[in-house]
């Protein structure tokens, strides 16, 4: 695992977690590699927040060109944030009540179907989260 540091005008002092082996996307990255990358987040983010004086951070993965991925090697960004830094507009600055409609429930059902043992060959038991039912 490689820890990178990046500094520029628009993305001030953010770090990258990069696996040593090459994988072009999260889909191509083995789960144990993703787990190893994610296991570093608490340690690295704590150090970044102390070094930058920030108390918050964004954890970001751009997966695929349509999601903004321009470096096709799996990596995780840890981006320290300060109040109203306007790095990019935050939904939390203009939060509206969540409205669940039929499309939301259709999406939930499709995701649940994909995660079910019949729709997915991975073990989905004990994932630590649940999806809302309609």
Write out the catalytic residue numbers: 75
> Which residues, 6+ apart, have CB-to-CB distance to 40 below 8 Å?
1, 3, 17
> Which residues, 6+ apart, have CB-to-CB distance to 37 below 8 Å?
1, 17, 19, 74, 76
Burial, 14: exposed, middle or buried (Cβ in 10 Å; 0-12, 13-18, 19+)? Answer: buried
65: left (phi over 0), alpha (psi -120 to 50) or beta: alpha
């Amino acid at each position: 695992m490689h820890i990178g540091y990046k500094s520029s005008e628009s993305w001030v002092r953010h770090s990258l977690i990069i696996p040593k082996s090459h994988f072009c996307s999260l889909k191509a990255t083995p789960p144990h590699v993703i787990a190893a990358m994610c296991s570093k987040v608490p340690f690295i983010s704590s150090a970044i927040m102390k070094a930058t004086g920030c108390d918050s951070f964004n954890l970001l993965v751009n997966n695929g060109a349509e999601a903004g991925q321009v470096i096709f090697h799996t990596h995780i960004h840890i981006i320290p944030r300060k109040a109203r830094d306007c790095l990019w507009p935050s939904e939390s600055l203009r939060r509206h009540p969540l409205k669940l409609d039929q499309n939301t429930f259709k999406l939930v059902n499709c995701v649940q179907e994909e995660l079910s043992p019949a729709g997915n060959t991975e073990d989905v038991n004990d994932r630590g989260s649940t999806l809302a039912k309609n």
